[in-house]
Every structure is written in structure tokens, then in C-alpha cells.
Amino acid sequence: MLVPFLEKQTKDKGLGVFAKSFIPKGTVVWRLTNPVRVSKDEYSKLPKNIKNQAYPEGDHFVYSLCSGEAWNHSCDANTWWTKDNELSARRDIKEDEEITYDYATTDIDPDVTRTWQCKCGSIKCRHNINWNDILLPELYEEYKGHLPSFVEKMVRKYN
């Protein structure tokens, strides 16, 4: 994490990452450091807590065990991708607000077909998060220009 943050338990989503101070729109919030890349076979053998932090990137999965990795999903996330391994504030983030990203912007892999029940509570909530949500035209339009290159490649493959 590149901003002051606090990891703490949420009411119903487990551990989350919260802003310790106001974060202006456009601020780089997170950059992947010390990435661990594993094959899909190695991923299947990882403990659940690490699987939950890993995201598919082409033919492998990526995760980091640094502090500040307990990001939760939101269908109305306050960060988005500004580079392949960098998230920035999509809008102003208030002090003590949970810092979130939309899992649809990374979790695109037909080999991982699990569905997550969404608990974000936003008015834009999709209720279930699926591996192919970013293929929805309205969602892709919302994030177009703010997706990692491997996601753009997958979108082109499936559309």
C-alpha cells in the first residue's frame, strides 16, 4: 500500500483495508510489490486465505503476502487500475472508508468458475460476482481504459 491504511475486521466480509486519512481522487493507492506467481496447478494447492488474495493473470496466478492485501470487492469500487499492477483512487476516499476494487477487473478466468456472493451493499450491487462479469457490456464500458492488459486481452478473446 502506498497510502496510510489500517487492516481491520468488517461487519460481514472478514478483514478489510481502510484509509487512515483522506485520499484524493487520482492518488496511487497500491502497487504490487514482491509478487508471487504460481501455475494454476500450484494455485489449486494453496491455502484458502492465499487463494482469496490471488488473481488470475494469463496462465498463472499472482499474489503478494505484504500487509494491505486484504482488499474486499465492491460493485461501486473506489479504486481502479491505472497500470497493470497499480490501483488509484477512482474518486475521493474519506478517512476510515474501506478501500475496495471490483473483482471483475481482475478475476477473469474460465477455469475458476466459482461465484462469490456480493456483500458490498452498494446500489450498483450485482449480488453475485462471476469470472466473466467484465464481459458485460455496461461493466466493460465503465472500466474501459482502467483494466490490466491481461484482462483486456481476455475480453478481446471472449467478445
Residue 12 DSSP one-character state = S
User: 53-62, 97-106, 147-156: lowest mean pLDDT where?
Assistant: 53-62
What are the CA-CA distances from residue 159 to residues 84, 102, 118, 148, 149 (Å)? 21, 20, 25, 17, 15
What is the CATH classification number for the domain harbouring 136? 2.170.270.10
Q: Is the dihedral of CA 152, 155, 157, 159 positive or negative?
A: negative
Do 7 and 33 meet the contact criterion of CB atoms below 8 Å apart?
no
User: Based on the structure, what is the number of domains in the chain?
Assistant: 1
Which pLDDT tens digit goes with each residue over 56-75?
Answer: 777 888 887 766 677 889 99
Q: 23-68, pLDDT tens digit by residue? A: 999 999 998 888 888 998 898 898 887 877 777 777 888 887 766 6
Question: In this predicted structure, what is the pLDDT of residue 88?
Answer: 97
* 115: containing domain: 5-158
